[in-house]
Amino acid sequence: FRGFHVRFQDVARGGIRIVRSRNREAYSINQRTLFDENYSLASTQHRKNKDIPEGGSKGTILLNPDAQEKSFVAFEKYVDAMLDLLLTGQSPGIKDRLVDRLGRNEILFFGPDEGTAGFMDWASQHARKRGAPFWKAFTTGKSQHLGGIPHDTYGMTTRSVHQYVLGIIRQLGLDEAACSKFQTGGPDGDLGSNEIKISCDRTVAVVDGSGVLCDPLGIDRAELTRLASERQMIQNFDLTKLGPQGFRVLVDDFQVTLPDGTLVQDGLSFRNTFHLNKMAAADFFVPCGGRPESIDINNVGTLFEDDGSTRFKYVVEGANLFFTQDARLRLEKAGVHLFKDASANKGGVTSSSLEVLAALSFDDGEFGRLMCRQEDGSLPAFYQEYVADVQKAIEANAAREFECLWNESKRTGKPKSILSDDLSVAIVELRKSLESTNLWDDLPLRHLVMREALPARLLKELGIDVILERVPQNYLKAIFGAYLASHFVYEYGTEPGQFAFFEYMSKYRAKAETTN
């Protein structure tokens, strides 16, 4: 195989992706574009990680043409190679020690990506065998018996997405129960099922892998919730619960006549293009699944009615890259309130970051007792309380970013899709600038910021002094910088006044003096 790893910050986290090739021609293309793809993925992740201490990173493993079925073997070798670089002088089978020219300990965190979701447990345990002191935090996306916090079980990504829905409702004085919604990504998926369970709107259409379910009067909420709880596709929906104008078309169906007389020739084509169909109309559109760039500049016109109005008033992009940027801007120009994926669906990265923090804070015994599923199948009380803290942090970060984007859009007239990128750049740049300041050396300020930034349940369990002693200093500094930078930008916007940061830090210093 051929592999790369790119990071944009000393402390960084991102997924490791397996890249497969259908034939030698595809391999040749993948080989030429591998580093560029890796770099772009890491850069995008860096902007998405704006609220958390880890910068963005990404790893890619391009399988050789004759090794397409050996993804795990390639992953094993990739992880070993990375550990060789991270653990100075501890490479099995190597006679001469690797030369360390950096002169300090490094930490990298891996997460699941395409083709590696089932490998995270092994990587964590292998790092432990290799003697890595950070083995507990080396990977996220682990099983609960190894201290992992599964995003789908606790609806981590959905909690962020739904805060944007609630923000729009709050700002415009809407009643969620009276709002109609169209959703791609069904009750069988992570985002789709949790969006159904967390909301109380009038969902009029759902598209998933099995087909299209639509009821203009609103799909029966109880039946939809049953499917979401059981993670079943809409093909299992009880059709007796549909209204007179409701219908279900499955991908294997042919020649189906809808209640309004429309003839559907082919269920698969109908499903694949239903998001462009005039029947897919609602107040809210919340994509929770679907192919990247499903709506681009060439087909975005189908979302407009003949009178120039749009079929959706509000869009919250839960699925990654469902819209292209050109399509987003076209809709925003027409008056649609649209929040893009990089802002809306960041809950998962926050959850993974706090999973890493717990792993770095506890010793091995505490970690097994407090963060891992026990032999009797139970989850420790601390784990459940810590997960609740993680959920609160996700919702608070999403609400802060929503308010900032909403207010900045009103103030500047800029599209929210552009402001979302501006916000990420502003936070990342400020974090970088803070690295060269002496703010960290101010002990009262350090303690105040860390008490605010760290989860309450973790502080209660260990205390601030133990956490500051155990967690690597470069990671603590990253928490410190990320917290100050994100909160400043969310409060003062992307174009703060000349003395805004001085004013912001003056409040903190005054509070630190009072507290200490």
For 174-199, how does the pLDDT look when each residue is reduced to its tens digit (9 = 90+)? 999 999 999 999 999 889 999 999 99
Closest C-alpha to 383, from 396, 369, 397: 369
Looking at residue 254, its pLDDT comes to 96
Residue 215 has pLDDT above 90, yes or no: yes
pLDDT band at 93 (very low <50, low <70, confident <90, very high): low
CA distances from 443 to 199, 438, 469 (A): 44, 11, 14
- Are the beta carbons of 131 and 138 closer than 8 angstroms? no
Lowest mean pLDDT among 146-160, 235-249, 377-391: 146-160
- Tell me, what amino acid is at 414? K
How much is the average pLDDT of 427-437?
A: 89
More confident residue, 345 or 200: 200
What is the per-residue pLDDT across 390-421, written as a single tens digit (0 to 9) for each?
999 999 999 999 999 999 999 999 999 999 99
> CB atoms < 10 A from the CB of 175, how many?
9
How much is the average pLDDT of 43-64?
A: 90
Q: Does the annotation count 77 as an active-site position?
A: no
Residue 514 has pLDDT above 90, yes or no: no
Looking at residue 290, its pLDDT comes to 85
What whole-number distance in Å separates Cα of residue 284 and Cα of residue 306? 20
Lowest mean pLDDT among 316-320, 331-335, 358-362: 316-320
User: Which parts of 59-138 fold into alpha helices (H)?
Assistant: 71-86, 120-129
More confident residue, 152 or 257: 257
Looking at residue 92, its pLDDT comes to 65
How much is the average pLDDT of 92-96?
A: 63
Residue 485 has pLDDT above 90, yes or no: yes
Residue 104 has pLDDT above 80, yes or no: no
pTM here is 0.89
- Tell me, what amino acid is at 326? D
How much is the average pLDDT of 49-61?
A: 91
Strand partners, 382: none
More confident residue, 231 or 37: 231
What whole-number distance in Å separates Cα of residue 503 and Cα of residue 497? 10
Residue 248 has pLDDT above 80, yes or no: yes
Q: Which of 48, 58, 181, 416 is catalytic?
A: 58
DSSP letters, 323-371, are B-HHHHHHHHHTT-EEE-HHHHTTHHHHHHHHHHHHHHHS-HHHHHHHT
What whole-number distance in Å separates Cα of residue 222 and Cα of residue 320? 28
What is the per-residue pLDDT across 106-134, written as a single tens digit (0 to 9) for each?
888 999 888 888 899 999 999 999 988 89
How much is the average pLDDT of 495-506?
A: 89
CA distances from 349 to 114, 150, 297, 397 (A): 16, 12, 29, 12
What whole-number distance in Å separates Cα of residue 43 and Cα of residue 40? 5
What whole-number distance in Å separates Cα of residue 264 and Cα of residue 211? 12
Residue 68 has pLDDT above 80, yes or no: yes
CB within 8 Å of 385: residues ≥ 6 apart: 457
What is the per-residue pLDDT across 338-373, written as a single tens digit (0 to 9) for each?
999 889 988 989 999 999 999 999 999 999 999 999
Residue 99 has pLDDT above 80, yes or no: no
Pair of tokens at residue 6: 């790119």
CB within 8 Å of 494: residues ≥ 6 apart: 408, 419, 422, 423, 426
Write down the residue that tokens 């609740």 correspond to: 388
The percentage of residues in the chain with a pLDDT greater than 90, rounded to a whole number, is: 76
CA angle 74, 77, 83 (to 5 degrees): 140
Considering the chain, what is the average pLDDT of its residues? 93
Give the distance from CA 175 to its chain's centroid. Answer: 27
Write down the residue that tokens 């004759």 correspond to: 66
SS (H, E, C) 260-318: CCCEEEEHHHHHHHHHHCCCCCEEEEEECCCCCCCECCCCHHHHECCCCCECEEEEECC
How much is the average pLDDT of 387-392?
A: 97
pLDDT band at 91 (very low <50, low <70, confident <90, very high): low
CB within 8 Å of 274: residues ≥ 6 apart: 205, 207, 212, 280
- Are the beta carbons of 330 and 300 closer than 8 angstroms? yes
CB within 8 Å of 307: residues ≥ 6 apart: none
Strand partners, 16: 59, 112
